[in-house]
Amino acid sequence: MVADRYRIVEPIGRGGMGIVYRVEHVRIGKLLAMKLLAGELSSNKEIVRRFKQEALTASKLSSPFTVQVFDYGVWQHLTFLVMELVEGVDLSRALRRAGPLPFPRLGRLMVQVCSSLAEAHQKGIVHRDIKPENVMLVSDEAGRESAKVVDFGLAKLRESSELNEVTIQGTVVGTPYYMSPEQILGEEVDGRTDVYSLGAVMYRMLTGSYPFTANTPIAMFTKHLNEAPPEIARTHPELGVPKGVSDAVLRCLSKKKDERFESIEELHDVLAEELRGLGVASDRDPPEVTRDGDGSRHRRGGDAEIATREELEAYEATLRRNRYGISALLGAVVLGAAGTVAGLGFGAKTSFRGEETEPNDNSGTASVLPFGEAVRGTIGRRIDENTGDQDVFRLTVPASTRAVHLRLDPLPTFGLCASVHRLGFEHATSHYCTGPLGAQPLDLPAVRLEAGDYLIVVRQDRAADASQKLATPIHENISDGYRLSLGASDDGAADVEPNDGIEGATPLAPGAELQGSLGFTDDVDVVCSTESNVAFVVDDPERRFGTVLEVTPRVGESPMPLVRVHASRAVPHSSRTRMAADVNGPWKSPPCAASRCCVELRLTRDPWAHSDAVGPRPDETRYWVRVERGGSNP
């Protein structure tokens, strides 16, 4: 398990920069590819720094013909890059299988490669290492083929002076067949460098031969610098390569940059025109990406689904909207000037009639909410064009209160969030959301709040549609009201919120059992044993809405491989597959002999559910956790 979320499934390739693995993103149950930087490179701090910078640059590319970069970082001295998983072969392997590619097939692929490079060049990114091995071919069920350009952002590292010593050691093996004259001379490169390399790739794929051959890399470089390439139409007339295509390849391979195509877009248009002359469409749509009936995008990778950028961004958006974080906009609007809050100088309404008193959208105009009472409010007219209405209430928790009971009845038209701020502090101590339309009320029987003054902020749940990668609009509803109440908790259960970290975890003694609840969007519960040398037994009923209970054992502060605990009789949908992380309950953890043994529980999207399933949202069903001494069976 890398970075607590990527489970390595198997190695799928090896190159000069490192090893590529097929991995499962365990939080969303989808497949990706991960490149681990070679050990010699990971030990060089400057290379790692530049690797991160180049990866960040590559992550900005979104062309459907570019392999998407999603994540990067350093984990336990391993430098990794996470990207879109491509199931297919590269151009070099296609050439070995089928021989030279006819132009109607290759031309369509090269038009797509040009589209990929055009976006990069517009963002100031030069690939620098275009070669057949860096162009992947993928096909859909109908046999439609498309190209994916890989390794953006890494080629510059190969050329950097910092790699000289590593290159001498043989860790990085360059391919001189496709290098432009300016690269060989160490001169400044631009988009026309990629034009040259793509011309060499087209020559190779159309003829089966390199534009230049030599016995040594130095001799090869000399030919790139001084020798004119042979004309395809003259040396290979039997292949039937159109004269216009042969001329375009020669122009790409001009020694001087100014004599090549001025831009990759110009080459794109020439190739597309040649295809049209043959009656072939220059298909721009990537066939392997499809949409379900609900409009959600997905890709298949064998029996499992391949993660898309939309799904990864939806997951990251969910992480950003957690109960301890709140947007800078919310902080600014709620708390107003820092001096106002720190000095407790706000004018909360002193009278209470069971309803909010507008305006109450910041700390200076907060409505009073007596402890133990309920208040009715509305999310009405937006504050401005980009800011929805929010209601701020002031509450005092008495000294005798152990925990509070928080309930928020949602609106019928959109979801709500309630954030709890300790007076004088900008960031929320806790943050709870009802979920999207149709969700259950937010009902938390026991929320841990120390005695003192608090601000409670109610606002629209803007992340409710994140799973569908939709921009949630700002809503207004002046007709329907919500109901908010906070009072003393009369629930004696041990599951007290927030308990999503080791520090506030729910304690459980060996032999004891806890019936816990994941009662709101993004809820996380942590349960820790009061003793060592134990194992946890977790069971879960069948859940609605396409969710499953995700359990991550923790030994001390270190997370162990997680599992998804399905109901005892649950089976994958016919279009789904069972991953290594999927188990049927009851599930028993490995024995833990550490001084601190815990399990982290959350709801996540069920990879066994049908693609129409909604995904994580509030759910009243409960889970069961039991602590056992040693290792007896559940």
CATH number of the domain bearing residue 24: 3.30.200.20
Q: Are residues 244 and 127 in the same domain?
A: yes
Residues 436 and 527 in one domain: no
Q: pLDDT: is 468 or 382 the higher one?
A: 382
| Same-domain pairing of 248 and 113 | yes
> Domain check: are 55 and 114 in the same one?
no
Q: Under 8 Å CB-to-CB from 87, ≥6 apart: which residues? A: 138, 301, 302, 306
The DSSP call for residue 67 is P
- 474 and 523 part of one domain: no
**For 281, phi and psi rounded to 5 degrees?**
-75, 145
Read off the pLDDT band of 40 (50, 70, 90): low
pLDDT at 274: 94
Q: Which of 52-66, 96-110, 571-585 has the lowest mean pLDDT?
A: 52-66
Lowest pLDDT segment from 215-219, 259-263, 536-540, 584-588: 215-219
Domain count, the chain: 4
Q: Which residue has the higher pLDDT, 617 or 259?
A: 259
Q: Give every strand in the sheet of 374-379, ordered side by side.
A: 374-379, 477-488, 404-409, 442-447
587, pLDDT greater than 90? yes
Asked whether 514 and 506 are in contact (CB, 8 A), the reply is yes
Would the pLDDT of 250 be above 70? yes
Residues of the chain with pLDDT > 70, as a percent, come to 77
Query: Same structural domain for residues 95 and 73?
Result: no
* Mean pLDDT, rounded, of the chain: 79
Q: In the prediction, which pLDDT does 283 show?
A: 56
Higher pLDDT, 559 or 200: 200
Which one, of 337, 414, 420, 345, lies nearest residue 382 by Cα? 414
Rounded to an integer, the average pLDDT of 535-556 is: 85
pLDDT at 351 over 90: no
| pLDDT at 82 > cutoff 50 | yes
- Flag whether pLDDT at 599 surpasses 80: yes
Residues 183 and 112 in one domain: yes
Q: How confident is the model at residue 548 (pLDDT cuts 50, 70, 90)?
A: confident
Per-residue pLDDT band for 292 (boundaries 50, 70, 90) equals very low
Closest CA to 41 of 169, 217, 186, 179: 169
Domain boundaries, position 584: 506-629
Final residue in a domain of this structure, among 56, 85, 114: 85
Residues 452 and 515 in one domain: no
pLDDT tens digits along 477-516: 878 899 999 999 876 655 677 777 777 788 999 999 988 8
pLDDT digits (tens, 9 = 90+) for 102-148: 999 999 999 999 999 999 998 888 888 899 999 999 987 677 899 99
Indicate the pairing of strand 513-517 with strand 477-488: unpaired
Residue 315, in any domain of the structure? no
In the numeric block, the tokens 């601190």 are attached to 596
CA 264/CA 257 separation, integer angstroms: 12
Measured between alpha carbons, how far is 420 from 562 in angstroms, rounded to an integer?
30
pLDDT of residue 333 exceeding 60, the answer is: no
Give the containing element (helix H, strand E) for 627: strand 622-629
Q: In degrees rounded to 5, what are phi and psi of residue 227?
A: -105, 140
- Does residue 302 sit within a domain? no
> Same structural domain for residues 245 and 99?
yes
| CATH of residue 542 | 2.60.120
Assign residue 420 the CATH number of its domain.
Answer: 2.60.120.380
CB of 269 closer than 8 Å to CB of 247: no
Q: What is the mean pLDDT of residues 268-285?
A: 83
- Residue 348, pLDDT score: 56
Answer yes or no: is 597 within a domain. yes
Residue 289 lies in a domain: no
Beta pairing class for 89-90 and 547-555: unpaired
Confidence (pLDDT) at 26: 82
**Section 427-447 average pLDDT:** 75
pLDDT tens figures, 533-544: 999 999 988 776
Asked if residue 169 and residue 229 are part of one domain, the reply reads yes
Taking the mean position of all CA atoms in its chain, how far away is CA 166? 32
More confident residue, 248 or 449: 248
pLDDT value at 199 more than 90: yes
Specify the higher pLDDT residue, 18 or 276.
276
Q: Can you tell me the mean pLDDT for 287-315? A: 53
Q: How many residues does the chain have?
A: 634
> What integer is the mean pLDDT of 411-428?
81
* Same-domain check for residues 46 and 106: no
Same domain, 215 and 361: no
Label residues 318-342 b or e (16+ Cβ within 10 Å = b): beebbbeebeeebbebbbbeeeebe
pLDDT at 579: 82
